[in-house]
Structures are given as structure tokens and as C-alpha cells.
């Protein structure tokens, strides 16, 4: 029988600060802890990071710095509350990028040689989402690794 390695060394968790994203984050922390894996937290701004003149570049840099400081502060709070152990925090990396979320998630998974993406799905089943496709669906179709989609609380299947 072949030896099957199911270990994850690098896990990517995109966050957008929504409640489903928070649930995916906690799931990712649990997986990273279980596998002693590096956890990459990615926030994608749909605004271009550099939009134009010098003033806009400076303003965008300040915005990214505020966002990064907020993410670091939140991780520190989670560690203080006991939700993150010092070892969890040490293995956690923050990344911020700009662009289409699904494309940036796939790009980051390729660039960082990610083994698993854990992300939220909104569980929407509207015609618009079926025709256009959700961010999570686009990632599932294009990612070079496993993708775990975390459904929101109260999710009801369309088949129910």
C-alpha cells in the first residue's frame, strides 16, 4: 500500500472581515495548529493599490499601513484572549494585496506554494451567482491545491 501524506505545511486563509470570513479564520487557525503549518492570512482590496498621482500613492500606502496595523492588533488580541497560542502567532503571516479577490487568492497560493486554502463562502444560490460564479467557486476551479469552503452559520441547502 502506498504511503499517503495528507499533511499541510502552508495554509492560506483570505479574510474580508465578514462574519463568514471570521468563521473560516478560526477554522484555519485550528487546521494550522493541528498540522503545525504556517498560516498565511490574506486580505485583498479590490481597489488598485497604486491608483495614480503621488498624493494617491501616499494615501494608499497609509491605508495599507492602517489595515496591516489593525490586522496585527487583532492577532495580538486573539493571542491575549487565548484563541491563538504563541506558537500559532509565530507561524502566522499577514499579506495584503490589491486586485480581484479570486485571482489574488490563486496567485498567492501559487507564489507561496500553499497546500490548503480555507475560505468562507456566502452560500448564495441566486441566479446571478450561478451565472457569474462566486469568489469561492472561482478559487476552487483554479487553485493548485485543496480548498476548504466554510459555510456561514444558518446555511440552508437549496435542496432542503
What range defines the domain where residue 53 resides?
10-150
For residue 110, being part of any structural domain is answered with yes
Q: What is the pLDDT of residues 56-115, one digit of tens each?
A: 556 666 777 888 888 888 888 888 888 788 888 899 999 988 889 999 999 999 999 999
pTM above 0.95, yes or no: no
For residue 1, being part of any structural domain is answered with no
Q: What is the pLDDT of residues 124-154, one digit of tens each?
A: 554 444 444 588 899 999 999 999 999 877 6
Q: Give the model's confidence band at 119: pLDDT under 50 very low, under 70 low, under 90 confident, else very high.
A: very high
For residue 158, being part of any structural domain is answered with no
For residue 160, being part of any structural domain is answered with no
Total domains present in the chain? 1
- The CA-atom distances, in angstroms, between 132 and each of 41, 47, 105, 127, 137 are 26, 20, 18, 8, 10
CATH code at 30?
Answer: 3.40.50.620
For residue 71, being part of any structural domain is answered with yes
Amino acid at each position: 500500500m502506498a504511503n499517503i501524506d495528507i499533511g499541510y505545511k502552508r495554509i492560506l486563509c483570505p479574510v474580508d472581515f465578514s462574519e463568514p470570513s471570521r468563521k473560516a479564520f478560526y477554522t484555519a487557525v485550528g487546521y494550522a495548529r493541528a498540522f503545525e503549518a504556517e498560516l498565511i492570512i490574506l486580505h485583498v482590496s479590490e481597489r488598485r493599490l497604486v491608483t495614480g498621482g503621488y498624493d494617491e500613492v501616499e494615501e494608499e500606502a497609509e491605508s495599507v499601513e492602517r489595515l496591516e496595523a489593525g490586522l496585527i492588533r487583532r492577532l495580538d488580541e486573539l493571542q491575549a484572549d487565548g484563541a491563538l497560542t504563541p506558537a500559532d502567532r509565530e507561524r502566522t503571516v499577514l499579506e495584503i494585496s490589491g486586485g480581484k479577490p479570486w485571482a489574488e487568492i490563486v496567485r498567492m497560493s501559487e507564489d507561496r506554494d500553499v497546500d490548503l486554502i480555507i475560505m468562507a463562502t456566502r452560500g448564495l444560490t441566486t441566479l446571478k451567482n450561478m451565472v457569474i460564479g462566486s469568489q469561492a467557486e472561482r478559487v476552487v476551479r483554479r487553485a493548485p491545491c485543496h480548498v476548504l469552503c466554510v459555510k456561514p452559520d444558518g446555511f440552508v441547502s437549496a435542496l432542503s
